[in-house]
């Protein structure tokens, strides 16, 4: 070995025996060798004489790179040398045949790289400088399989790298592909097809792998050569023979089927295509899908052929308008469809998606045909059979899906995704042929229900899934009518008790399907008792699987919402049935062990609240129902509160979990009661909730530092504000005092959200409450939130910073809500006065610099409202000494001028333009309140500093004094754009 060969071997060494520094030096040596002017001659020489595959590969790779980069600069002699040398190796021509044979019999990656080098030369030189390459190559095919194999590799690589439009191509590559194809059509395509035929005839029994390679190359070229070269009495019979003859290599038969698919898919005039499809007699291959192994490669190829054929026939039907053409197309479709259905039902296919897409197209086409023939209706029925077969789970996963372990979850997720297109197809069939679809669903449900064993779990689940999905395509009118087959199906659904109902998937889809068709029940009260039984017995809420039970609780709550008044006669029955569930829900075991996720069981209490909270329920009954639920729950809480100090940590954890559950239950229960009922028409009901609130507020005293408990109590107070209305006021001071005892940012956020709710609901009525708590809130805010911006950038996306960001956002909302609900006088109370100056500075800084434009807008709106509230014109009286000068000298200049001049203020951003509108509105308000004082400071000082021309300043004053706010905004925007050109950004407020 010489030094270059040694360096190449070291460079490609994948063991750990070679030192990394030595490998680096080897790389550098090889890279330096590539830059040598004679590198192509070196590579050719080593290709011919080196036995080391790493050296061969490096030489071929280097040749390929050099041709791509330097070929256009090379001399004619050098180009000729490279072409001659590469072609000689490929064709065993004029060199030491043994050395060339060694390469052509070497590893596939060497032969593929050699083909890539030759194709790069064809790309650059054919046909201008090397017109004879294909003709010459064809003359060497008589040398046997090694040269034929290389020829196939060259044709395939040429297709991959230059011709095929399956890959993105640059305009230059598209032009080159056209040049190559045009030249080949004119010069050698006919000879090429003849060579393919001769090779296939000669080697079909002796070297079938070689024949498969030839067919793979042929398949690629059929799309752009003259179709008459293939569709004739010589080639076409050979392709069918190779596909159909039993005993041939499966790979060969599949490759022949691939060529037939290329013929079928050939782009051409649709009338000519229909004639071609009709002449193929494709029915000859139908039998293959039934006789071969369903998961074989041949069946997959034949399935693709049949699907491609069906797609093309359907396209002809859509594109051709003559009755004869449409009739012929339908005949061909009718002929091929049963085989398409068969392969989708029986075979494991990669092409299942394309078949479903074809069937969707077929069904869509059927919409235009009316009425449908018996055969077409039969095909639609067969499509439904295919869908049912495809959406069935594999029984091998039954246990995994029932307990929903990791394997089961993965299979369920996969099937959810897989089913999407199939269920869309189902709904399409349902719209085209509703009667056929409903009869099929009835038949499948009858079949699923008829088995008395567990063996049909998957069949039952699939049948119910069909019925569930079909409901999505039904109109409200059909649902409400509930007559005919839909009514019959709903009756069957409600009356059927499947033997496999204990299975999680079956139970879930059964309940979901009932809810999907609940509108039928709404209009047909005779179904109500059956629906209630399904949700309340072991099929629903009392199902042994906790996941089914929880989902049933949620769906039952939604059923109650929809049926409401119709359920009043059944309230006693429902409450009796739910007694054990209600008790279990608030037991310590259930609270600690069984709950997770959003469907946590409180839906049961919400359903009960919706039932018993209706005014149609007599007062006495309503009081009894509510009392029987609230009293035991409150007593449980009171018992824990009495003994709270004596609890061990372990006991406290269990009791706290129980209290959490109870608060959630009461909260959910209260959702069924509206403010008018509990405060006006039935105050006795309101009193029960007030007593409950009184008990639950004691939780904040007994467990002051348990954050989850505080959150639940806070949520209940929110609920009581909506339920009890103004009658909640006496309870608020105590509640707010306890909630404000903690100062964590997360706690403060929840507290401010509650205050926002109170202000929005009661407005100035909460003035006294707000005046009491605001000083404490302000103190907390200024202790927690930095006066300047919060830290940002790498390392700041931590929980603490996120909590501060959330608090900051809600603080601005809080201040905005106060000012816009006429409560700004709260800021001026004696206890709050000391916070006024830092609050104004915070709002000013935010209005100028905050990254969130919507937050800046809120701050500007706050200032506008404060100016209106605190500034009196024309008397000049100041409610807040110094506020006017702060606004004129601070807010007006820094926010309304300098912050907008900053180029970070995007004048073409929608939100920024909204903010600009508020800033212009603020200027209008300031002029109305401060008159010439505002103009003097803003125009004479602010504009002057921003280098504003006198004429623009005068125009601004005119627009400001006018009444057209839109014109003012438009002018101010153009003014800012012109001022940006004249100043360097140094004025921007920071």
Query: Per the domain annotation, does 691 fall within a domain?
Result: yes
Q: How many angstroms separate the first and last alpha carbons of the chain?
A: 71
Last residue of a domain, one of 368, 398, 426: 368
CATH number for the domain harbouring residue 317: 1.25.10
Instruction: List, in order, residues 6 or more apart from 643 with CB less than 8 Å away.
Output: none
The verdict on 582 and 699 lying in the same domain is yes
Range of the domain at 778: 750-824
Query: Per the domain annotation, does 641 fall within a domain?
Result: yes
Residue 19: C-alpha distances to residues 1, 4, 32 (Å): 20, 18, 20
Structure confidence at residue 509 (pLDDT): 97
CB atoms within 10 A of CB 506: 26
Alpha helix ranges (H) inside 320-351: 323-346
For residue 179, is pLDDT > 90?
yes
Percent of the chain at pLDDT > 70 equals 94
Instruction: List, in order, residues 6 or more apart from 86 with CB less than 8 Å away.
Output: 44, 63, 114, 117, 118, 121
Instruction: Convert the pLDDT of each residue in 727-776 to its tens digit.
Output: 999 999 999 999 988 667 778 899 999 999 999 999 999 999 999 999 99
The verdict on 818 and 847 lying in the same domain is no
* Three-state DSSP class for residue 385: helix
Instruction: Name the residue among 925, 817, 917 with its Cα closest to residue 871.
Output: 925
Instruction: Convert the pLDDT of each residue in 390-405 to its tens digit.
Output: 999 999 999 999 999 9
The verdict on 711 and 754 lying in the same domain is no
The verdict on 953 and 881 lying in the same domain is yes
Structure confidence at residue 983 (pLDDT): 58
The verdict on 849 and 769 lying in the same domain is no
CA–CA separation, 367 and 356 (whole Å): 17
For residue 23, the surrounding DSSP H or E stretch is helix 20-34
Beta bridge partners of 191: none
Query: Per the domain annotation, does 918 fall within a domain?
Result: yes
Which of 90-94, 260-264, 454-458, 643-647 ranks highest by mean pLDDT? 260-264
Instruction: Convert the pLDDT of each residue in 908-941 to its tens digit.
Output: 899 999 999 999 999 999 999 998 999 999 998 8
The verdict on 790 and 890 lying in the same domain is no
* pLDDT band, very low/low/confident/very high, at 831 (cuts 50, 70, 90): very high
CA–CA separation, 111 and 284 (whole Å): 38
For the record, the structure tokens of 184 come out as: 């080949």
The verdict on 846 and 818 lying in the same domain is no
Structural contact between residues 553 and 608, judged by C-beta atoms closer than 8 angstroms: no
Q: What value does the mean pLDDT take over residues 472-490?
A: 84
Structure confidence at residue 277 (pLDDT): 97
Average pLDDT, rounded, for the chain: 91
Last residue of a domain, one of 694, 718, 741: 741
CA–CA separation, 273 and 325 (whole Å): 11
The verdict on 800 and 820 lying in the same domain is yes
Q: What value does the mean pLDDT take over residues 443-467?
A: 87
For residue 989, is pLDDT > 50?
no
Query: Per the domain annotation, does 671 fall within a domain?
Result: yes
The verdict on 699 and 775 lying in the same domain is no
For residue 876, is pLDDT > 60?
no
Query: Per the domain annotation, does 106 fall within a domain?
Result: no
In terms of phi and psi (left: phi > 0; alpha: psi -120 to 50; beta: otherwise), the region of 13 is beta
Instruction: List, in order, residues 6 or more apart from 714 with CB less than 8 Å away.
Output: 739, 750, 751, 754
* pLDDT band, very low/low/confident/very high, at 590 (cuts 50, 70, 90): low
Instruction: List, in order, residues 6 or more apart from 437 with CB less than 8 Å away.
Output: 380, 384, 426, 429, 430, 470
Structural contact between residues 377 and 429, judged by C-beta atoms closer than 8 angstroms: no
Query: Per the domain annotation, does 7 fall within a domain?
Result: no
Structural contact between residues 385 and 488, judged by C-beta atoms closer than 8 angstroms: no
Cα–chain center distance at 681: 48
* pLDDT band, very low/low/confident/very high, at 16 (cuts 50, 70, 90): confident
DSSP string, 921-957: HHHHHHHHHHTHHHHIIIIIIIIHHTT--HHHHHHHH
CA–CA separation, 425 and 363 (whole Å): 8
Last residue of a domain, one of 335, 368, 401: 368
Instruction: Name the residue among 271, 360, 349, 348 with its Cα closest to residue 310.
Output: 360
Higher pLDDT, 59 or 486: 59
Query: Per the domain annotation, does 491 fall within a domain?
Result: no
The verdict on 844 and 941 lying in the same domain is yes
Q: Which residue has the tokens 């004696």?
A: 830
Q: How many CA atoms lie within 13 A of 196 on its CB side?
A: 28
CA–CA separation, 59 and 38 (whole Å): 13
* Three-state DSSP class for residue 873: coil
Query: Per the domain annotation, does 442 fall within a domain?
Result: no
Instruction: List, in order, residues 6 or more apart from 54 with CB less than 8 Å away.
Output: 8, 9, 11, 12
Structure confidence at residue 153 (pLDDT): 97
CA–CA separation, 263 and 700 (whole Å): 79
Which of 98-112, 575-589, 618-632, 929-943 ranks highest by mean pLDDT? 618-632
The verdict on 866 and 797 lying in the same domain is no
Instruction: Convert the pLDDT of each residue in 653-679 to its tens digit.
Output: 889 999 999 999 999 999 999 999 999
CA–CA separation, 8 and 134 (whole Å): 33
User: What is the domain count for the chain?
Assistant: 4
Alpha helix ranges (H) inside 433-545: 434-450, 457-471, 476-481, 484-495, 504-516, 518-523, 528-536
The verdict on 360 and 329 lying in the same domain is yes
Least confident of 219-223, 471-475, 719-723, 753-757: 471-475
Q: What value does the mean pLDDT take over residues 329-349?
A: 88
CATH number for the domain harbouring residue 732: 1.25.40
Q: How many CA atoms lie within 13 A of 723 on its CB side?
A: 27
Cα–chain center distance at 857: 32
Least confident of 70-79, 219-228, 555-564, 589-598: 589-598
* Three-state DSSP class for residue 827: helix
């Amino acid at each position: 070995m010489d030094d270059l060969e040694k360096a190449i071997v070291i460079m490609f060494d994948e063991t750990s025996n070679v030192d990394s520094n030595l490998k680096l030096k080897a790389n550098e040596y090889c890279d330096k060798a590539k830059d040598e002017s004679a590198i192509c001659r070196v590579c050719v020489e080593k290709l011919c004489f080196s036995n080391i595959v790493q050296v061969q590969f490096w030489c071929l790779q280097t040749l390929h790179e050099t041709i791509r980069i330097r070929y256009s600069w090379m001399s004619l002699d050098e180009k000729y040398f490279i072409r001659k040398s590469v072609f000689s190796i490929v064709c065993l021509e004029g060199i030491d045949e043994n050395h060339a044979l060694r390469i052509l019999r070497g590893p596939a990656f060497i032969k593929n790289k050699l083909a890539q080098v030759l194709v790069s030369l064809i790309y650059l030189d054919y046909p201008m400088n090397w017109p004879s390459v294909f003709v010459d190559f064809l003359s060497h095919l008589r040398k046997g399989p090694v040269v034929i194999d290389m020829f196939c590799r060259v044709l395939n690589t040429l297709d991959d790298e230059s011709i095929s439009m399956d890959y993105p191509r640059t305009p230059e590559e598209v032009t080159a592909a056209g040049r190559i194809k045009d030249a080949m059509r004119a010069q050698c395509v006919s000879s090429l097809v003849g060579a393919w035929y001769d090779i296939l005839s000669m080697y079909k029994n002796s070297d079938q792998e070689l024949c498969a390679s030839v067919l793979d190359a042929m398949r690629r070229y059929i799309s752009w050569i003259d179709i008459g070269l293939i569709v004739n009495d010589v080639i076409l019979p050979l392709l069918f023979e190779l596909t159909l003859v039993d005993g041939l290599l499966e790979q060969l038969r599949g490759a022949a089927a691939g060529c037939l698919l290329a013929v079928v898919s050939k782009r051409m005039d649709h009338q000519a295509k229909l004639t071609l499809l009709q002449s193929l007699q494709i029915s000859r291959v139908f039998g293959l899908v039934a006789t071969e192994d369903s998961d074989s490669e041949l069946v997959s190829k034949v399935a693709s052929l049949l699907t491609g054929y069906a797609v093309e026939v359907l396209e002809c039907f859509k594109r051709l308008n003559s009755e004869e053409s449409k009739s012929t197309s339908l005949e061909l479709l009718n002929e091929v469809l049963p085989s398409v259905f068969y392969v989708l039902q029986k075979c494991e296919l990669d092409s299942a998606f394309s078949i479903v897409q074809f069937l969707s197209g077929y069904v869509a086409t059927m919409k235009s045909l009316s009425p449908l023939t018996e055969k077409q209706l039969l095909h639609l029925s067969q499509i439904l059979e295919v869908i049912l077969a495809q959406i069935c789970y594999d029984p091998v996963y039954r246990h995994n899906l029932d307990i929903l372990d990791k394997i089961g979850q993965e299979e369920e997720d996969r099937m959810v995704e897989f089913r999407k297109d199939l269920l869309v197809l189902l709904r399409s069939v349902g719209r085209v042929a509703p009667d056929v679809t409903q009869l099929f669903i009835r038949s499948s449900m009858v079949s699923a229900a008829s088995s008395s064993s567990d063996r049909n779990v998957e069949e039952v689940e699939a049948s119910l899934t069909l019925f569930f999905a079909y409901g999505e395509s039904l109109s409200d009118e059909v649902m409400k009518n509930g007559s005919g087959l839909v009514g019959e199906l709903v009756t069957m659904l409600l009356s059927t008790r499947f033997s496999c109902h204990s299975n999680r998937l079956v139970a879930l889809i059964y309940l979901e399907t009932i809810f999907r068709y609940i509108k039928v029940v709404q209009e047909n009260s005779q179904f109500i008792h059956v629906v209630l039984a399904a949700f309340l017995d072991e099929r629903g809420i009392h199902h042994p699987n906790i996941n089914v039970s929880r989902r049933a609780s949620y769906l039952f709550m939604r059923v109650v919402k929809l049926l409401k008044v119709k359920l009043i006669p059944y309230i006693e029955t429902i409450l009796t049935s739910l007694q054990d569930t209600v008790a279990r829900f608030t037991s310590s075991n259930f609270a600690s062990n069984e709950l997770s996720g959003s469907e946590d069981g409180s839906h049961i209490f919400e359903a009960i609240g919706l039932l018993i909270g209706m005014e149609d329920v007599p007062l006495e009954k309503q009081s009894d129902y509510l009392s029987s639920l609230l009293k035991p729950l409150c007593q449980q809480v009171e018992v824990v509160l009495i003994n709270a100090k004596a609890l061990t940590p372990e006991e406290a954890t269990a009791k706290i979990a129980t209290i959490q559950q109870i608060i959630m239950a009461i909260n959910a229960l209260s959702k069924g009661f509206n403010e008018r009922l509990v405060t006006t028409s039935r105050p006795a009901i309101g009193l029960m909730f007030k007593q409950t609130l009184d008990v639950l507020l004691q939780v904040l005293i007994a467990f002051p530092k348990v954050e989850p408990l505080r959150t639940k109590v806070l949520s209940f107070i929110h609920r009581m504000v909506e339920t009890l209305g103004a009658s909640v006021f006496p309870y608020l001071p105590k509640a707010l005092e306890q909630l404000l005892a903690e100062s964590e940012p997360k706690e403060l956020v929840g507290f401010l959200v509650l205050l926002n709710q109170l202000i929005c609901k009661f407005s100035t009525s909460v003035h006294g409450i707000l005046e009491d708590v605001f000083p404490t809130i302000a103190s907390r805010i200024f202790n927690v939130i930095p006066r300047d911006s919060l830290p940002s950038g790498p390392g700041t996306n931590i929980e603490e910073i996120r909590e501060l960001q959330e608090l900051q956002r809600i603080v601005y909302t809080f201040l905005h809500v106060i000012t816009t609900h006429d409560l700004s006088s709260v800021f001026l109370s004696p206890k709050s006065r000391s916070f006024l100056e830092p609050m104004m500075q915070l709002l000013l800084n935010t209005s100028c610099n905050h990254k969130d434009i919507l937050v800046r807008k809120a701050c500007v709106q706050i200032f506008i409202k404060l100016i209106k509230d605190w500034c009196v014109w024309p008397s000049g009286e100041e409610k807040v000494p110094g506020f006017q000068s702060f606004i004129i000298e601070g807010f007006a200049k820094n926010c309304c001028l300098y912050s907008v001049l900053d180029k970070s203020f995007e004048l073409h951003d929608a939100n920024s333009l909204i903010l600009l509108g508020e800033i212009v509105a603020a200027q209008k308000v300031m002029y109305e309140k401060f008159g010439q004082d505002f103009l003097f400071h803003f125009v004479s000082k602010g504009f002057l500093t921003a280098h504003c021309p006198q004429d623009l300043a005068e125009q601004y004053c005119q627009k400001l004094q006018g009444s057209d706010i839109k014109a003012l905004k438009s002018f101010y925007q153009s003014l800012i754009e012109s001022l940006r050109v004249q100043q360097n950004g140094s004025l921007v407020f920071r």
